[in-house]
Structure 1
Amino acid sequence: MTPRTLPTPPRRLLLALALIGTALCTPLAHADTWPSKPIKVIVNFPAGGAADQLARAVSQPLQEALKQPVVIENRGGANGNVGGEAVARATADGYTLLMSSGGMVSVNPHLYARMSFDPAKDLMPVAAAARVLVFLVTRPSLPPTDVKSFMAYLKANPGKLSYGSPGNGSSPHLAGEMFKSQAGLFALHVPYRGAAPALQDLLAGQIDYAFDPGIALNQVRAGKLKLLAVGSPHRSSQFPDVPTLDEAGLRGFDADTVFGFYAPAGTPPDVVAQLNTQINRALALPAVKERIAAIGGEPAPGTPADFQRRALADSQRFGALIRERGIKAD
């Protein structure tokens, strides 16, 4: 009997099977080969700020773990939107990351009528780095010595005191507006182009108080500024005797922001998982903890899902505040 010859599969079917095989093998192949070149971390704020310091603190142990250079590149502008867009448009291969404040994801969409990208869709959370607190500080010549007497002093002098912030929509600005809203106060907001110039004017007595993102803590320790309260649900581990605004009567006051790492949407899950693991390990190192503490922050290890949940909660909270106070971007 003549053997039956099987028909040759159609070329289209062979191509489809080849594509399926490639797709099935890609995650494992990527896990085996990544990283094979330097990783770039774009910081969407200028050098020296909290985001920059956090990126540099984590980059050294991260590159030691991954055995590839981790290069920091600062691209500030538009409350973080410039650097955010650069990463959102980058190739989703795990070689371009973003270090940002949570505000770029949870606040900016409420501030800007139009953005060139959608942070919620075009970026994916990789790992939170730190919870950054804000501290209510005043010039030392101001009479009140505690937060309750300070609020009474503000109420007795409506519109006569001013507070500074790094700019409209910044977390210290939102903290200041949250403070006025919940306490029923009125004070003049003075926006600056950065936290450093706001601090300089506070030290010089040109403004009366500020919600500081951590850069004024050395001046507090030196007695050049008075620290009255923490704008966080929990007391600061560095200043355990300083009350929170929640304890002072402003129930639920929470102006914390979470800084962390993002990747372009579509980055392979195995790469995101590796990055998350190594960043969490870096956050547990004493040297990294010390650098985070120096800016008044606290490590915030967790999963990408934890990070995303926090961003969504912040978006709802800050979005309501922005609408209530009519806050707009510069």
Structure 2
Amino acid sequence: MKTNFLKRWVVSVCVGLSFGCAVSVANAKDADNYPERPVKILVGFSAGGTTDIIARAMAGELVNVMPGAHFVVDNKPGAGGDIGTADVVRSNPDGYTLLMASVGPLAINPSLKTLKHDPRTDLAPIILVADVPNVLVVHPDRNIKTFEEFLAWAKERRGNLHYASTGTGTSSHLSSHMLSDMMDLDATHVPYKGAEALNDLVAGRTDFMFATIPSVMGQIKSGKLVPIAVSSAKRSRSLPDIPAVAEKGFPDFSAGSWFGLLAPADTPPAVVNLVNEKVNQVLPTLEERLISAGADPAGGSPEDFGKFISAEHDKWAKALTSAGIEKQ
């Protein structure tokens, strides 16, 4: 009996090992001929926005390093990017549906809203494509040109300051809240819908705003707005002469936008690694284009991106609690 039991055990182990080997081989083969048909890159925002621009620029370069490949950018806007994100979560994890997403749906919205998905577990991180710092801007009539001047001016008006944002719970809102909290400014938040915030700031009806660099680059160049500082941990390559808040006595301040590529959870690791390799390969080619648009090329491994998303989730959850924003 012991002999028969041993034989059955050996057979079971061999079968198990064979199955494991078969899975490994299958995973490896998943990337051998990938992609064999068009790959959809879903963007949860409207065409023409920063997420869309970065996705299309990347897709246009990937075909040069993946002969025969075809990438289609598909816009599915709504709910701050959550509708498109949920669509990818439900997609077949075969590598033919990818997601280009930003800080909102990946790191802020899970603590802001009750969602049926969790980006940290229901999506497979591929690569952080670009960092897009927010820039603190003011109206030129305020006669402020440096962060030190802004700080002195803001403290004189403590309790009587109003900052605009593109909506409650957005990176624009939370960046200003974090700054106001750190500097004890007691500033009042004035939420808008999208571009309306920028229009009122340009008209001088609000005092300051954190906006993504691409959204205000035109107003900065035309002199309609004055850049004071960027929200990233270091200076942006798009505005190299503008200091980071972190270098002005607030080393823990880091609050910007970013954009990355993901796939549904359980997408074969071989496919994830292949796409990661190819995006890393084309980022230097995209460098000039991204910087001119206000974005800093990023890159790195899928593991790096996964850790980054988790850290960002925790940071923004804390910011939302500090701002007194309850989960909807």
Q: Shared fold by TM > 0.5?
A: yes
Q: What secondary structure does 1:100 align onto?
A: strand
Distance in 2 between residues matched to 1:227 and 1:238, nearest whole Å: 12
**Structure 2 residue aligned with 1:325:** 323
**Structure 1 residue aligned with 2:81:** 80
Distance in 2 between residues matched to 1:309 and 1:294, nearest whole Å: 28
**Structure 2 residue aligned with 1:44:** 44
**Structure 1 residue aligned with 2:198:** 199
**Structure 2 residue aligned with 1:95:** 96
**Structure 2 residue aligned with 1:244:** 244
Aligned counterpart for 1:297 among listed residues 276, 295, 298 = 295
Give % identity. 37
- Judge conservation of contact 1:126–1:304 (CA < 8 Å) in 2: yes
Distance in 1 between residues matched to 2:300 and 2:21, nearest whole Å: 34
**Structure 2 residue aligned with 1:7:** none
**Structure 1 residue aligned with 2:3:** none
**Structure 2 residue aligned with 1:223:** 223
What is the Cα deviation at residue 284 of structure 1? 0.9
After TM superposition, the structure 1 stretch with the greater mean CA deviation from structure 2, 198-207 or 21-30, is 21-30
- Judge conservation of contact 2:238–2:292 (CA < 8 Å) in 1: no
Compared CA separation, residues 141 and 264, structure 1 to 2 (3 A): same
Letter in 1 for 2:154: L
What is the Cα deviation at residue 271 of structure 1? 0.5
What is the Cα deviation at residue 188 of structure 1? 2.2
- Judge conservation of contact 1:183–1:250 (CA < 8 Å) in 2: no
**Structure 1 residue aligned with 2:232:** 232
What is the Cα deviation at residue 327 of structure 1? 2.4
Letter in 2 for 1:144: I
Q: Superposition RMSD on alpha carbons, in Å?
A: 2.3
What is the Cα deviation at residue 236 of structure 1? 1.9
Deviations 1:40-68 (A, max 9, x none): 01111222221111101101111232222
What is the Cα deviation at residue 18 of structure 1? 8.9
- Judge conservation of contact 1:162–1:208 (CA < 8 Å) in 2: yes
- Judge conservation of contact 2:238–2:295 (CA < 8 Å) in 1: no
Compared CA separation, residues 31 and 243, structure 1 to 2 (3 A): closer
- Judge conservation of contact 1:168–1:328 (CA < 8 Å) in 2: no
Give me the TM-score of the superposition, normalised by structure 1. Answer: 0.88
- Judge conservation of contact 1:169–1:328 (CA < 8 Å) in 2: no
Distance in 2 between residues matched to 1:88 and 1:238, nearest whole Å: 33
Q: What secondary structure does 1:307 align onto?
A: helix
Q: What secondary structure does 2:248 align onto?
A: coil
Q: Does residue 267 of structure 2 align to residue 267 of structure 1?
A: yes
After TM superposition, the structure 1 stretch with the greater mean CA deviation from structure 2, 307-316 or 273-282, is 307-316
After TM superposition, the structure 1 stretch with the greater mean CA deviation from structure 2, 310-319 or 172-181, is 310-319
Letter in 2 for 1:289: E
What is the Cα deviation at residue 176 of structure 1? 0.7
Aligned counterpart for 2:311 among listed residues 310, 313, 323 = 313
Distance in 1 between residues matched to 2:89 and 2:99, nearest whole Å: 9
Compared CA separation, residues 220 and 27, structure 1 to 2 (3 A): same
Compared CA separation, residues 125 and 157, structure 1 to 2 (3 A): same
What is the Cα deviation at residue 22 of structure 1? 4.9
- Judge conservation of contact 1:213–1:295 (CA < 8 Å) in 2: no
**Structure 2 residue aligned with 1:8:** none
After TM superposition, the structure 1 stretch with the greater mean CA deviation from structure 2, 137-146 or 258-267, is 137-146
Map 1:103-118 → 2, pairs under 5 A: 103-112=104-113, 114-118=114-118
- Judge conservation of contact 2:138–2:144 (CA < 8 Å) in 1: no
Give the helix-richer structure, 1 or 2: 2
- Judge conservation of contact 1:128–1:307 (CA < 8 Å) in 2: yes
**Structure 1 residue aligned with 2:26:** 26
Gaps of 5+ in 2: 1-11
**Structure 1 residue aligned with 2:6:** none
Q: What secondary structure does 1:228 align onto?
A: strand
Map 1:159-178 → 2, pairs under 5 A: 159-178=159-178
Letter in 2 for 1:282: V
Letter in 2 for 1:252: D
Give me the TM-score of the superposition, normalised by structure 2. Answer: 0.89
Distance in 2 between residues matched to 1:301 and 1:142, nearest whole Å: 38
Distance in 1 between residues matched to 2:325 and 2:148, nearest whole Å: 26
Distance in 1 between residues matched to 2:19 and 2:249, nearest whole Å: 62
- Judge conservation of contact 2:231–2:254 (CA < 8 Å) in 1: yes
